[in-house]
């Protein structure tokens, strides 16, 4: 529906008029153009890409990420020079793995199970069986040189006690599972501080 601010064709207007004309402001000028329905062809490539997007969005919702997981995905997304949200970064990672012919391994629900002045024990959830998750850590979000294979606990829980840490230090942690090229999954970047 067009909204007129003065007599038609004399002053400004905005919106569509009978699906024939569209009025809009453009660079301080009142403009008008014909109403256009954008083409949305359903080529095989577009259908395939939409399928990837649908699967990625379903994975985001299916993983039921908790607030810590979403913050970690956002932190990982902020490392890129492009402006992405954590959701967009996860979708990007998911689609990149699909394009390689891989299966995404779901991993979620990070929590810090225990901590002392020299240890951190992170725990994540991943369906039992398959690959064991890897925890990576360091004192910078862009350099996590330490890694270890997590061990299964009760049910779908996996944990690892990281030892030899420095008291009152902020550590960055991330988790991945599998190997890119077959089946793979990851989480964002978490933070945990050792007590003083």
Domain final residue pick, 5, 22, 40: 40
Count of domains forming the chain: 2
From 70, 152, 150, 151, select the one nearest 108 (Cα to Cα): 70
* CB of 148 closer than 8 Å to CB of 135: yes
Is residue 50 located within the same domain as residue 136? yes
Q: What pLDDT is stored for residue 145 in this prediction? A: 97
pTM equals 0.78
- Neighbouring CB atoms inside 10 A of 163's CB total 11
Per-residue pLDDT of the chain (196 residues; tens, 9 = 90+): 555 555 555 555 666 666 778 877 878 777 878 878 778 778 999 999 999 999 999 999 999 999 999 999 999 999 988 889 999 999 999 999 999 988 999 999 999 999 999 999 999 999 867 789 999 999 999 999 999 999 988 889 999 999 999 999 999 999 999 887 788 899 999 999 999 9
Instruction: Say if residue 48 is in the same domain as residue 124.
Output: yes
| Domain span holding position 20 | 13-40
- 172 within domain boundaries: yes
Do residues 130 and 98 share a domain? yes
Task: Give the chain's end-to-end CA distance (angstroms, integer).
Answer: 63
Tokens 């577009």, residue? 46
Three-class SS of 111-128: EEEEECCCCEEEEEEECC
Asked whether residue 118 falls in the same domain as residue 149, the answer is yes
Q: Is 68 helix (H, G, I), strand (E, B) or coil?
A: helix
Does 6 map to a domain? no
Nearest to 15 by CA among 29, 27, 5: 5
Closest C-alpha to 186, from 100, 62, 91, 50: 91
């Amino acid at each position: 529906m067009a909204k007129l601010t003065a007599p038609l064709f004399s002053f400004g207007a905005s919106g569509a008029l009978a699906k024939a004309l569209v009025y809009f402001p453009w660079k301080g000028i009142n403009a008008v153009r014909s109403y256009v329905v954008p083409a949305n062809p359903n080529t095989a490539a577009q259908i395939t890409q939409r399928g990837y997007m649908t699967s990625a969005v379903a994975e985001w919702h299916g993983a039921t990420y908790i607030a810590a997981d979403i913050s970690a995905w956002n932190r990982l997304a902020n490392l890129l020079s492009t402006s992405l949200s954590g959701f967009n970064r996860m979708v990007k990672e998911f689609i990149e793995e699909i394009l390689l012919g891989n299966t995404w391994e779901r991993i979620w629900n990070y929590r810090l199970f225990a901590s002392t002045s020299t240890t951190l024990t992170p725990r994540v959830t991943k369906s039992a069986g398959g690959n064991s998750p890897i925890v990576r850590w360091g004192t910078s979000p862009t350099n996590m040189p330490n890694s270890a294979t997590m061990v299964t606990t009760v049910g779908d829980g996996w944990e690892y006690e990281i030892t030899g840490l420095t008291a009152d230090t902020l550590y960055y942690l991330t988790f991945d599972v599998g190997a890119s090229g077959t089946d793979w999954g990851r989480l964002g970047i978490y933070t945990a501080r050792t007590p003083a």
